[in-house]
Amino acid sequence: MSKLGLRGRLFLSHLIVMIVGLSTLVTVGRLYSPRLFVLHLENLEIGGLNLVRVRQKLVDGFESAWSRGAFWSVIVGASAAGGLSYLVAKRITEPLIHMEQVTQKITAGHLEERLPSSEIPELNQLALSFNRMAADLEGVEQRRRELIGDLTHELRTPLTVVEGYLEGLADGTIEPSVDIYQRLARETARLRRLVNDLQELSQAEAGYLPIRSVELDLQPLLQAIVDKFSDQLLESSPVLKLDCPPDLPPVLADPERVEQVLMNLLGNALRYTQAGSITVRAWNEGKKVWIAVTDTGQGITPADLPHVFERFWRSDRSRDRASGGTGIGLAISRRLVELQGGSIDVESELGQGSTFRFCLPVI
């Protein structure tokens, strides 16, 4: 019995119900019908009909007719009910068997497999949930592949450079010089930065970055960040300005993470702005406080704009690789802002400059 599948069990249970039904019908009929017939005959005799000679024949005839009728009813009823029960069991178990086959295919790596819809509402609901889960898994798998692809690409360039220089130094085709060692140090520093950024990104994407949101007064924080940045600016650098009203309402945010986002935006603004100004502006709008970093730099083309928050994306890969960008900064910033309940966006005009702005919830 324990080896019997669902279809077998369903069929068997239908069969048992049918046998119980038919045997009750036959037993009750067998017991009562002849008696009722005899009673009927007795009533006829009381009514004046003389049945003495044919009475036994009538009773025998009735019993044999009844038995034959019952026999054929059992045969026809049992076959019809058996066939019907087989069909019902098949209809219920077929989608389940299909589901099990699809699950096995998904386990084997065919994440594009989906379940067809079923006419049984409960099974249809199960198929819908299953397909949603499969689509999620497929998305995760695709992002994982993309990440590995991007990562290999990012790691290969500095590794090739380092390998080339080291081989040249080893076989004497490159003269050792301060410049060569500095280049090697730059490439290894780039690799280290890439690994650090990556660790941060993976933690942020998985939601593992601790966010300790507190009641935060933005004005002093923005002032401190702008001061820190201004100290590092050279004579030729663009000027850095802060435009923040003193009556800004406090926000619910993690000061360290807000600083991290702003440092990234300011670092980018400085990297992509040769002259002019960089302005940090904050303002209140309903239940949010917006912080914007506006530069008068090179700007971003409309085609590139939708991609700037994607990880590893850089508008000019070779140029930015030389400038040390990894293309991860804005992806981390977006995740950090989202983890604090805000959002980030960008507006830019080629040759005019860009404005990156993000919002934080007011307490």
- Please report whether residue 158 would count as binding ligand ADP according to CB under 6 A: no
> What one-character-per-residue DSSP string does 171-238 give?
HTSS---HHHHHHHHHHHHHHHHHHHHHHHHHHHHHT-S----EEE-HHHHHHHHHHHHHHH--TTSP
The reply to whether 269 sits near ligand ADP by the rule CB under 6 A is: yes
Q: Binding to ligand ADP by residue 326, rule CB under 6 A?
A: yes
Size of the site for ligand ADP (CB under 6 A): 21
Residue from 12, 81, 313, 341 that binds ligand ADP (CB under 6 A)? 313
Q: What is the 8-class DSSP label of residue 327?
A: S
> Residue 65 has which token pair?
């007719």
What is the phi/psi pair of residue 303, to 5°?
Answer: -70, -30
* Token output for 191: 């690799």
327 binds ligand ADP (CB under 6 A): yes
Stretch that binds ligand ADP, among 53-61, 76-84, 95-103, 329-337 (CB under 6 A): 329-337
Helix residue spans in the chain (DSSP H): 6-46, 55-107, 121-171, 178-206, 218-232, 255-271, 317-322, 329-339
End-to-end alpha carbon distance in the chain: 64
Return the closest-CA partner of residue 198 out of 263, 152, 163.
152
Residues 282-311 touching ligand ADP, rule: CB under 6 A, are 295, 297-298, 300, 308
272 binds ligand ADP (CB under 6 A): yes
Q: For residues 197 and 254, which CB has a smaller minimum distance to ligand ADP in the complex?
A: 197
Between residue 93 and residue 152, which ones bind ligand ADP under the rule CB under 6 A? none
Near ligand ADP by CB under 6 A, which window of 136-144, 216-224, 322-330, 337-345? 322-330
**Cβ nearer to ligand ADP, comparing 200 with 295:** 295
Instruction: Establish if 200 lies at the interface with ligand ADP (CB under 6 A).
Output: no
Residues that bind ligand ADP in the complex, under the rule CB under 6 A: 264, 268-269, 272, 295, 297-298, 300, 308, 313-315, 320, 325-331, 354
